[in-house]
Amino acid sequence: MDAVLTAFGEVLQPQVFFIIVAASAYGLMIGSIPGLTATMGTALLVPITFFLDPIPAIGAIVAATTMAIFAGDIPGALLRIPGTPASAAYTDESYRMREKGQVELALGVNMLCSTIGGLVGVAVLILAAPQIAAVSLGFSSYEYFWLALLGLSCAIFVSSSSPVKGVLSLCIGLMLSTIGIDVVMGVKRFTFGDTELIGGVSIIPVLIGMFAITEILRKVARPSRLPAPPPVRLGAMVSGVGSTIWRFKGGVVRSSLLGSVIGALPGAGADIAAWIAYALSKKFSRSPEKFGTGYPEGIVSASSANNAALSGAYVPSLVFGIPGDTITAILIGVLLMKGITPGPMVFVMDTGLVNAIFAVFIIANLLMLPLGLAAVYGSRRLLSIPQDVLFPIILLFCVIGAFAANNTLFDVWVMLVVGLIAFVLEENDFPLAPMILALILGQLVEENFMKSIIKADGQLTEFFARPIGGTLGVLTLAIWALLIGMSLYRATRARRAETTGE
């Protein structure tokens, strides 16, 4: 109990709390402006967290992303444009509610369900993470190697594009992580004689390039004017919300738990959780025929799930250092910059930090209620900011942000080059999530692989000799077999379609 109080005391210090509130406001802004995703918002936040202590830095990221995932629902209900991809699953449904004159109810349900989902996710995190950490204290390099590989394979498995492109994206990330001094012998690799690259590719410019520059390029090419949002009566956002959610309480619980689990899977984040929760609630619903006509049941489920997924993603990130989604991949990057290596040892050595993260999550989810109301109130102004003004300023922010971490213009070049390459890759259906996961995990994979293979003296059977390591290994190989099988199946089906079509 003392530890809990200390954690809350630490987070509620005026300075830290101010940063959390400021980050929340920022997150609400990012989330409610269409085109600015939670991941992009986090990437832009990183240069600033660089100057903060670990707890406020993590607090800022947690608060900003929690708010952003909820705020993505606001333009969804008002304009039928999801603010972040995580709201896309039920944008149509909440817009139908607006057409029925229930826009306030839709937003109120979004807000309260986001809070409930978020809190359930935190509860799962608080209960599960230390238990898993305790088990994983006995892990050796074999287990870590397989676990990291399993995480990366999972990221490819859940991405919607072709597995071949996912693997290639993964390879780029792994190769980027090998640049610099190698972990085994301290040899310089792929530095092209450049002193700036000896320390490796810095993570901040890569993140900004991948998630912000790509989006700026798309938005600048295709400027869009948002339609005017309708007026919202705040009073109506509160009344009737409780009874609606109570009616679908089963869905809230199911979707929150489901969301936490999906969030914990590496590579699958809030957006996938929302789609699956929406589909499942339709399947289990007593009146599935009402879905798509402005019926709140799907919204209740999906908006609980996406916020739960956000917290769920922290389970593997904190326990193993294996990110559950792109946002936690960035968070791990930030922790590493602060000299904290996430892993089971953090739960033993740095319980203060772990408890503070839990506290931040709880506070951020509770803050969502008052700040969310304010955001809905202010959304008319926010949504009237013209996009063609916004993106040049964000570009300037990116340039300074990339420069600020190491005060070198070299990082600005890294940002630009990575951004342009990522843009071309995304245009060609290469998923970016495996790349960022691989870049963060690359060193962990290589280090544990080299340790293992040197220990095993090249005997690959040693990789399967320990019970947990072996199980993880078999699981990884099974996913690979599935991936290869799926690719071959797709290829033969395409060929068959071709021959019958001709």
CA distance linking residue 172 with residue 436, whole number of Å: 9
Q: Which residue, 135 or 497, has its beta carbon nearer to other proteins? A: 497
Q: Is residue 8 involved in binding other proteins (CB under 8 A)?
A: no
Q: Which residue, 189 or 466, has its beta carbon nearer to other proteins? A: 189
Angle ∠(190,446,200) on CA atoms, nearest 5: 35
Answer for which of 53, 99, 194, 388 binds other proteins (CB under 8 A) is 388
Q: Is residue 497 involved in binding other proteins (CB under 8 A)?
A: no
Answer for which of 22, 395, 475, 477 binds other proteins (CB under 8 A) is 395
Longest Cα–Cα distance of the chain, Å, equals 73
Hey, which residues does 189 pair with through a beta bridge? 180
Answer for which of 366, 482, 491, 497 binds other proteins (CB under 8 A) is 491
Q: Is residue 18 involved in binding other proteins (CB under 8 A)?
A: no
Q: Is residue 1 involved in binding other proteins (CB under 8 A)?
A: no
Hey, which residues does 6 pair with through a beta bridge? none
CA distance linking residue 327 with residue 320, whole number of Å: 16
Q: Is residue 164 involved in binding other proteins (CB under 8 A)?
A: yes
Q: Residues near 335 by Cβ (< 8 Å), separated by ≥ 6?
A: 54, 58, 341, 342
Q: Residues near 95 by Cβ (< 8 Å), separated by ≥ 6?
A: 76, 77, 79, 80
Q: Is residue 220 involved in binding other proteins (CB under 8 A)?
A: yes
Q: Is residue 226 involved in binding other proteins (CB under 8 A)?
A: no
Q: Is residue 185 involved in binding other proteins (CB under 8 A)?
A: yes
Q: Which residue, 252 or 425, has its beta carbon nearer to other proteins? A: 425
Q: Is residue 400 involved in binding other proteins (CB under 8 A)?
A: yes
User: What is the rounded radius of gyration, in angstroms, for the C-alpha atoms of the chain?
Assistant: 23
Give the SS3 label for residue 185.
Answer: coil
Number of residues that bind other proteins (CB under 8 A): 57
Tokens 């309480």 label which residue?
A: 249
Contact criterion met (CB below 8 Å) for 448 and 469: no
Instruction: Report H helices in 313-350.
Output: 314-320, 326-337, 344-349
Answer for which of 22, 236, 404, 468 binds other proteins (CB under 8 A) is 404
Answer for which of 168, 226, 382, 468 binds other proteins (CB under 8 A) is 168
Q: Is residue 396 involved in binding other proteins (CB under 8 A)?
A: yes
| Shortest distance in whole angstroms from residue 19 CB to other proteins | 12
| Shortest distance in whole angstroms from residue 458 CB to other proteins | 7
Give the SS3 label for residue 224.
Answer: coil
CA distance linking residue 356 with residue 336, whole number of Å: 17
User: What does the CA dihedral 224, 32, 228, 389 come to, rounded to 10 degrees?
Assistant: -40
| Shortest distance in whole angstroms from residue 164 CB to other proteins | 5
Q: Is residue 14 involved in binding other proteins (CB under 8 A)?
A: no
Answer for which of 193, 195, 286, 393 binds other proteins (CB under 8 A) is 393
Q: Which residue, 99 or 429, has its beta carbon nearer to other proteins? A: 429
Answer for which of 190, 284, 377, 489 binds other proteins (CB under 8 A) is 190
Answer for which of 178, 238, 337, 483 binds other proteins (CB under 8 A) is 178
Q: Residues near 481 by Cβ (< 8 Å), separated by ≥ 6?
A: none
Taking CB under 8 A as the binding criterion, the range among 106-114, 359-367, 371-379, 408-416 that sits at the site for other proteins is 408-416
Q: Is residue 171 involved in binding other proteins (CB under 8 A)?
A: yes
Q: Which residue, 25 or 404, has its beta carbon nearer to other proteins? A: 404
Q: Is residue 483 involved in binding other proteins (CB under 8 A)?
A: no
| Long-range contacts formed by 195-204: CB under 8 A, 24+ apart | 196/408, 196/410, 201/176, 201/177, 201/414, 201/439, 202/405, 202/406, 202/411, 202/414, 203/46, 203/333, 203/336, 203/337, 203/439, 203/440, 204/46, 204/47, 204/50, 204/333, 204/401, 204/402, 204/405, 204/411
Q: Is residue 407 involved in binding other proteins (CB under 8 A)?
A: yes
Instruction: Report H helices in 81-140.
Output: 91-99, 103-136
Answer for which of 25, 175, 253, 382 binds other proteins (CB under 8 A) is 175
Q: Is residue 182 involved in binding other proteins (CB under 8 A)?
A: yes
Taking CB under 8 A as the binding criterion, the range among 29-37, 214-222, 346-354, 364-372 that sits at the site for other proteins is 214-222
CA distance linking residue 437 with residue 325, whole number of Å: 8
Give the SS3 label for residue 189.
Answer: strand
Q: Is residue 21 involved in binding other proteins (CB under 8 A)?
A: no
Q: What residues between 22 and 61 interact with other proteins by CB under 8 A?
A: 48, 51
Could you say which DSSP state residue 1 is in? -
Which residues lie near other proteins (CB under 8 A)?
48, 51, 164-165, 167-168, 171, 174-175, 178, 182, 184-185, 187, 189-190, 213, 216-217, 220-223, 386, 388-389, 391-393, 395-397, 399-400, 403-404, 407, 409, 412-413, 415-416, 420, 424, 427-428, 430, 445-446, 449-450, 453-454, 458, 487, 491, 495
